[in-house]
């Protein structure tokens, strides 16, 4: 019965989740501060709060099914519209990154491959299909969706991936189709996208059981914009030398703006993180102890190598201070406008980095290299993400010619370490390190 599900969810939200979080914190051994021999400065204190937020999110997800309308959403979809109807959202890409970080990628991908899905398919998709086919997940249980919500502004794979989910789960799929920006966004493109968003409302009302209220939608947009702008301020703290955190930290702290965008907890968290980073700047405290070179990362993280790479570069006094991937969640936030909710959502989500031409990406990378005083560029050519990886060798060549910035390409995969060659990567990085460390 729905009322029983709602009661169970509310009990777990108000009592169960705090109890579980408290027991976890009490049972967890306090990690010692980093020894003076390590290349890292003190850990971010608010990382504990981040873990609580994300653990709570997945924990409550176990009880959301039947208690709240549930949607599975792609990272580039305008989730603010769903928030206006009270949907509980799950992001399969975020779940895939979590699985990748725990080195579960090949296992879950293998399940999908055993059912006929090719190994060249995006490993986020393969992990999600492997989860759907087996029920396996490191977070206990994901709630079954009542609705799937996808946007092709990040890639075309999500459309076919979500069609498979819709067929298997027998739930409706909404697609937000964003015209590609070959040069500049056009007025007819905006009208086309606004029409789509407004056309989704009847189905969202039917699935959620809630009526659409534009004032609620506007409030959500206001919250999402504030959180995105605050995330942008967090990233800008790394312009300082020494930078108070690394991009490897930012890859982890990105989770709320991806999975919980439009919810008050996201803005609350980033204000806490920003305050801690500003305090570090005032005290001259860096994320690594001896920041000699500042680097930029292009593309999604290699989730199973985040810790290893963080240590490898820090030991050489090299700190990643900016990335195209983390910047994507702040870059278009200025377009959000609660006074023009539908039009602003169209502008915001149509102009994300992967829905733009390569010149846009080139100019963005040039600006980030200059603004963050970058000494070297590391490009992840991701087997899983062809839209993000196309043109990277050309971008590398042009940037090296224009800005004379040393660069290296790492060929890998975001979650499936079967596509990663330790020997090849080490060889390329050693040559890169030698170039950076050679006096000019």
**Mean pLDDT, residues 318-347 taken together:** 95
pLDDT of residue 440: 63
Q: How many structural domains does the chain have?
A: 1
User: Exposed, middle or buried, 109 (CB in 10 Å: 0-12/13-18/19+)?
Assistant: buried
Structural tokens at position 116: 């006929």
User: Is residue 127 assigned to a domain?
Assistant: yes
Confidence class for position 314, pLDDT limits 50, 70, 90: very high
What's the mean per-residue pLDDT of the chain? 93
Q: Is 131 exposed, middle or buried (0-12, 13-18, 19+ CB in 10 A)?
A: buried
Check whether 232 has a pLDDT greater than 70. Answer: yes
**pLDDT at position 32:** 52
Domain that holds residue 369: 2-12+40-437
Write down the pLDDT at residue 9: 73
Q: Is 97 inside any structural domain?
A: yes
Asked if residue 35 belongs to a domain, the reply is no
Q: What is the mean pLDDT of residues 396-404?
A: 95
Of all residues in the chain, what percent carry a pLDDT higher than 90?
Answer: 89
Residue 385: pLDDT over 50: yes
pLDDT per residue as tens digits for the range 14-57: 666 777 666 655 655 555 555 567 999 999 999 999 999 999 99
DSSP string, 285-320: --SBSS--EEEEEESS--GGGHHHHHHHHHTTTEEE
Tell me if 427 is assigned to some domain: yes
Task: Determine whether 2 is exposed, middle or buried from the number of CB atoms within 10 Å of its CB (0-12, 13-18, 19+).
Answer: exposed
Mean pLDDT to the nearest integer, 415-423: 96
404 touches 113 (CB < 8 A):
no
Which strand ranges, in their side-by-side order, compose the sheet holding 70-73? 88-90, 70-73, 147-151, 173-176
In this structure, is residue 59 part of a structural domain?
yes
Region 361-381: what's the mean pLDDT?
Answer: 97
- Euclidean distance between CA atoms 141 and 144, whole angstroms: 9
Nearest to 386 by CA among 181, 177, 176, 120: 120
From the number of C-beta atoms within 10 Å of its C-beta (0-12, 13-18, 19+), residue 423 rates as exposed
Q: What is the pLDDT of residues 424-433, one digit of tens each?
A: 999 999 999 9
The answer to the question of residue 29 being in a domain is no
33 in a structural domain: no
At 209 the pLDDT is: 96
Whether 18 is in a domain gets the answer no
CA–CA dist 215, 250 (Å, integer): 32
Query: What does the pLDDT read at residue 34?
Result: 55
User: What's the average model confidence in pLDDT over 201-207?
Assistant: 98
d(CA 90, CA 259): 7
Residue 295 β-bridge partners:
320, 376
- pLDDT tens, position by position, 146-178: 999 999 999 999 999 999 999 999 999 999 999
Q: Is the pTM of this model over 0.75?
A: yes
Give DSSP secondary structure letters for 349-409: HHTSGGGB-HHHHHHHHHHHHHHTT-SEEEEEEETT-HHHHTTHHHHHHHHHHHH---EEE
| Confidence (pLDDT) at 37 | 76
Among 258, 307, 316, 291, smallest CA distance to 79 is for 258
CA geometry: angle 139, 205, 145, nearest 5 deg: 20
Neighbours of 184 (CB within 10 A): 10
């Amino acid at each position: 019965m729905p009322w029983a599900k709602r009661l169970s969810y509310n009990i777990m939200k108000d009592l169960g989740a705090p109890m579980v979080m408290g027991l976890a914190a009490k049972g967890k051994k306090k990690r010692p501060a980093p020894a003076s021999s390590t290349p890292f400065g003190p850990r971010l204190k608010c990382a504990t709060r981040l873990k609580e937020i994300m653990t709570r999110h997945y924990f409550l997800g176990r009880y959301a099914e039947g208690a709240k309308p549930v949607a599975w959403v792609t990272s580039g979809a305008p989730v603010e519209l769903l928030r206006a109807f009270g949907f509980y959202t799950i992001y399969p890409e975020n779940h895939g990154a979590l699985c990748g970080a725990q080195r579960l990628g090949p296992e879950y991908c293998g399940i999908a491959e055993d059912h006929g899905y090719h190994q060249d398919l995006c490993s986020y998709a393969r992990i999600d299909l492997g989860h759907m086919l087996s029920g396996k997940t490191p977070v206990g249980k994901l709630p079954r969706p009542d609705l799937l919500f996808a946007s092709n502004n990040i890639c075309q794979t999500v459309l076919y991936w979500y069609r498979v989910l819709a067929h298997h789960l027998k739930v409706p799929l909404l697609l937000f189709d964003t015209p590609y920006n070959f040069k500049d966004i056009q007025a007819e493109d905006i009208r086309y996208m606004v029409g789509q968003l407004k056309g989704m409302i009847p189905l969202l009302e039917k699935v959620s059981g809630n009526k659409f209220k534009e004032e609620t939608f506007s409030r959500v947009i206001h919250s999402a914009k504030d959180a995105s702008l605050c995330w942008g301020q967090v990233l800008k703290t790394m312009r300082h030398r020494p930078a108070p955190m690394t991009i490897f930290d930012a890859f982890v702290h990105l989770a709320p703006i991806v999975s919980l965008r439009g919810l008050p907890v996201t803005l609350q968290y980033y204000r806490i993180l920003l305050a801690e980073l500003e305090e570090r700047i005032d005290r001259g405290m860096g994320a690594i102890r001896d920041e000699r070179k500042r680097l930029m990362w292009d593309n999604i993280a290699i989730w199973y190598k985040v810790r290893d790479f963080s240590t490898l570069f820090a030991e050489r006094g090299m700190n990643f201070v900016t990335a195209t991937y983390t910047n994507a969640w702040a870059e278009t936030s200025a377009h959000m406008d609660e006074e023009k909710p539908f039009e602003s959502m169209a502008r915001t989500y149509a102009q994300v980095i992967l829905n733009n031409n390569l010149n846009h990406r080139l100019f963005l990378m040039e600006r980030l290299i200059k603004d963050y005083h970058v000494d070297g560029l590391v490009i992840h050519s991701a087997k899983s993400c062809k839209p993000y990886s196309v043109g990277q060798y050309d971008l590398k060549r042009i940037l090296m010619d224009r800005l004379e910035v040393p660069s290296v390409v790492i060929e890998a995969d975001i979650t499936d370490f079967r596509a990663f060659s330790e020997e090849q990567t080490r060889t390329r990085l050693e040559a890169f390190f030698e170039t950076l460390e050679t006096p000019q």
